Amino acid sequence: MGRWLLIVTALLFLCVFLVLPLLAVFAQALAKGFEAYYLAIMAPMAWAAVKLTLLVAAIAVPLNLIFGVAAAWAIAKFNFRGKSALITLIDLPFAVSPVIAGMIFILVFGTHGWFGGSLRAHHIRVVFAVPGIVLATLFVTFPFIARELIPVMQSQGKDDEETALSLGATGWQTFWRVTLPNIRWGLLYGVLLCNARAMGEFGAVSVVSGHIRGVTNTMPLHVEILYNEYNYTAAFAVASLLALLALLTLAGKSILEWRQPELRHAVRMPRDRTRRA
């Protein structure tokens, strides 16, 4: 009885807060028919936003991947001075409001910021340009992968790596053949979360972007502009595209998981089936 109550509660909650809004997005996007939807998506400004969003994610996610693995490796496998400080620092973007994160970059790289003068002298634009958006996205998304990996790596300990080294593997071989396969699910999950956030980030990006249509507008920013112009169909059409990207990544993860043989085979067998010696 209690179990069913729990399940029903969870399902209800899921429906109200997840499924309904998702359906609403698609319903609103298609409210004026497929043609309107198609036109909204194919608008040049919308396309520019899609491309910029994918570009930002394509830069931010790999960089965070490298940083996240390195940080998690250092924290989980070594002891060093300042380790807890590093863990706290990694959490900083979670604690700081994205708007403040955006302001930081304006302060540092903006026209009146610390490096504003020298940047302008070299004709490099950071704020109100693509580099700024990438930086802000990097800042906001950098805890995701490290945070996902640290507990996984800590729980696995160092035995596997030490064994590999004692068997004569180099550090590089150990990483590719032992560590990486051990953490790949955590890593994949971290990458997905990081990617979702990189594509969906609004606050920090909004501050540094300058909202130049077709140039510095990412999808979330574009949705907001369309919405503010009372162009609901177009706004929700782009929003549905964003939602679709998220659904696709989740589907990709499920397929990858399903195709892993050892996960399906990892069923505990009855104890010791050897002939006793």
Q: Does 257 bind another protein (CB under 8 A)?
A: no
Assess contact for 149 and 183: CB atoms under 8 A. yes
Q: Inter-axis angle of helices 180-200 and 130-156, to 10 degrees?
A: 150
**Upper half-sphere CA count for residue 201 (Cβ side, 13 Å):** 35
Nearest distance from C-beta of residue 146 to another protein, angstroms:
22
Among residues 58 and 167, whose Cβ is nearest to another protein?
167
Q: Could you give phi then psi for residue 134, rounded to 5 degrees?
A: -65, -45
Q: Does 80 bind another protein (CB under 8 A)?
A: no
Among residues 5 and 266, whose Cβ is nearest to another protein?
266
CB atoms within 10 A of CB 166: 8
Interface residue with another protein, options 5, 159, 228, 255 (CB under 8 A): 159
Q: Does 225 bind another protein (CB under 8 A)?
A: no
Q: Does 272 bind another protein (CB under 8 A)?
A: yes
Among residues 9 and 170, whose Cβ is nearest to another protein?
170
Q: Does 275 bind another protein (CB under 8 A)?
A: yes
Q: Does 170 bind another protein (CB under 8 A)?
A: yes
Nearest distance from C-beta of residue 192 to another protein, angstroms:
20
Tokens of 105: 């970059």
Amino acid at 173: Q
* CB-based contacts of 53, cutoff 8 Å, min separation 6: 199, 218, 219, 220, 242
- Of 30-38, 146-154, 163-171, 224-232, the segment contacting another protein by CB under 8 A is 163-171
